[in-house]
Amino acid sequence: MKRVIISGTGATIPQAVIGNEELVESYNAFVERENVVRAAEGLEPLPSSSAKFIEHASGIRRRHVHTPDGILDIDRMAPRIPARDDDDLSVLAEFGASAAKAAIDDAGVDPASVDLVVCASSHLQRMYPAIGIEIQKAVGAEGAAFDLSLGCSSAASGLHVAFNLLRAGAHRRALVVTPELITAHLNFRDRQTHFIFGDAATALLLEAVDDDRDVAGRFELVDTRNWTQFSNNIRSNFGYLNRAAEEDASRVSMDDKLIKQQGNKVFKDVTVASHRFIVDFLADHGHTPHTIRRFWLHQANGRMNAMILKLAFGEEVGQDRAPMVLDELGNTAAAGAVVAMHRHHKDMKAGEFGLLCTYGAGYSIGGALVRMM
């Protein structure tokens, strides 16, 4: 088996920012208007929200969004992203390609030497042509490309696939690209989920290397692992069969097709499963949590991550050991842990270990153990 390194990282964070206060102002204005109608119909009123509730529940203070136009408009409450012609670069491929080009530049390699592109995202713009193939063309890569989706574990799953293909000799260089334009799939009228997500795109460039190559300052991938167990507690019902299920196939309701979750159940189930996954994965490689210099965990919920780490370590763990970007970016789904790695790894010393771990819908959990060279 060949050695595999992460030779480049890239991240694209949109410039536009929406803070909790303005998001809540829009949501509460919608609720106030809606409750007039509900009262007339004898229905229970919708609850209002607050910035304080959002930060307590999630740790999120603001989120960066790809397209802010339309999100705060209570008559729309969705980003306004115009359709593009089929011959134009798609919105999601453009977003992913920007991070992919940054990773290629970081690695200092010729794009044409990349012979595998995996677009690993929780929310794909379409099924075909594959977004990965479009990104492959946009960055000038060659070889093969495909899409992979496993909720918020998509990036870790893409790493798992690319790592094993590279070390088996099937490919030489692979890009794992994770464009997450989640605000377009989010129900901004749902109190449980409207505040959770932000947009970001990331990319990791993996290379199979010879033993004599100097890879100082880069990560060697020691091993990867995936775990899944079916659960309906995080779900999106958007898909091709929506049209076939409607009596009037020309009018498909979006009301129940967007992201929904049972937050309390997810918190409990995923905390327990992720703690066990981390401890067992590390133990299989002769490690305990205390021997890992840095953890880049899925950026979904600050309290969840604190609890997972406390269960693993037996004590509170600070930002230096497990940096968070959630408060600034919101939950960026599969991209979040990679953003944390991208931003917080250059101070690590040769020989130190890190663990990237993501968890989410499925349920699914993915991990990658790395060593700084």
Active site residues: 152
Query: Do 242 and 210 contact (CB within 8 A), yes or no?
Result: no
Helix (H) or strand (E) run with residue 119 in it? strand 116-120
Burial classification of residue 117, based on how many CB atoms lie within 10 Å of its CB (0-12 exposed, 13-18 middle, 19 or more buried):
buried
Q: Kindly list the distances between the CA atom of residue 298 and the CA atoms of 78, 172, 319, 331, in Å, as whole numbers in the listed order.
A: 25, 28, 14, 8
Let me know the angle formed at the C-alpha of 286 by 285 and 287, rounded to the nearest 5 degrees.
Answer: 95
Question: What is the number of residues in the chain?
Answer: 373
DSSP state of 331: B
Taking Cα atoms as reference points, which of 176, 198, 175 lies closest to residue 186? 198
Q: Kindly list the distances between the CA atom of residue 341 and the CA atoms of 146, 235, 305, 334, 354, in Å, as whole numbers in the listed order.
A: 24, 27, 15, 12, 9
Helix (H) or strand (E) run with residue 308 in it? helix 302-313
